[in-house]
Amino acid sequence: MLEVDGLVAGYGDIPILREVSVKLAPGEIVGLLGANNAGKTTLINSLSGIVKPMSGRILLEGQDISGTTARQRVELGIIQVPEGRLVFPEMSVRENLLLGGFCDRARPHRPRQMEKVLALFPRLKERLQQPAGTLSGGEQQMLAIGRGLMAEARILMLDEPSLGLSPLFVQHIFEIIDQLHKNGLTMLLVEQNLNLTLRHARRCYVLERGHIAVEGTAEVVRDDPRTRQAYLGL
């Protein structure tokens, strides 16, 4: 469904990602692991069009979308749930969700999509009028995911959804991810939490200082000594 081929990307003239190649099949959860500063967010930002490629290609269903803008990527259904959630704190939960569905493709279906999202997250339904900034971290993560779903995501890219959450919320967020997977959604799951990701993603990539150090099934990645090395920075 999505193919990243030899991607080089970074900031200014400094490349961070060095020839990164990644594939996502339809309906797959793919894990992207790596230590702090490995380049995980830079890869997500490249897929969402915020970071421009220096070379290499991004293909969506075989079409080269490398030159498209972030806005066009949203219209194509490539949706980012950003690291640190980045909900709009002064706006209500409802307004945050409506904003998620603002793109041309999703806007006409917002009422229907809102119902689906609230069925998935009853906690948000109870807090629709509450300013998003007053939610707990776990609730904000739910809202960030809900906002991404409102855009009728075809590929949902989750950037460290477990970061800073209590164990109970982490478990809940991962149950939601499993539920979305059952519904057929394609997801790229960026995490530092190795064991958790290996349990939920059948296939994983390990990024180490901007390049893919290990890739394969969860078992292969778990058993490869380079996986732990990539984390320890050896």
Ligand X SMILES: Nc1ncnc2c1ncn2[C@@H]1O[C@H](COP(=O)(O)OP(=O)(O)O)[C@@H](O)[C@H]1O
Q: What residue ranges bind Mg ion (CB under 5 A)?
A: 40-41, 83
Q: Which CB, 103 or 207, lies closer to ligand X?
A: 207
Q: Does residue 13 bind ligand X (CB under 6 A)?
A: no
- Residues 42 to 101 in contact with ligand X, rule: CB under 6 A: 42
Q: Which does 39 bind (CB under 5 to 8 A by kind): Mg ion, ligand X, none?
A: ligand X
Nearer to ligand X (CB atom), residue 22 or residue 93 = 22
Q: How far is the CB of 205 from Mg ion (least distance, A)?
A: 14
Closer residue to ligand X, CB minimum distance, 4 or 124: 4
Q: For residues 157 and 3, what is the distance between their CA atoms, to the nearest angstrom?
A: 14
**Amino acid, single-letter form, for residue 100:** G
| Per-residue binding letters, 24-53, with ligand X (x by CB under 6 A) | ----------x-xxxxxxx-----------
- Out of Mg ion, ligand X, none, what residue 177 binds, judged by CB under 5 to 8 A for its kind, is none
The least CB distance from residue 10 to ligand X, in Å, is 7
Q: Give the alpha-carbon dihedral of 50, 88, 92, 176, to 10 degrees.
A: 60
| Residue 36 interaction partner, one of ligand X, Mg ion, none, beta carbon < 5-8 Å per kind | ligand X
Residues in contact with ligand X by CB under 6 A are 11, 16, 34, 36-42
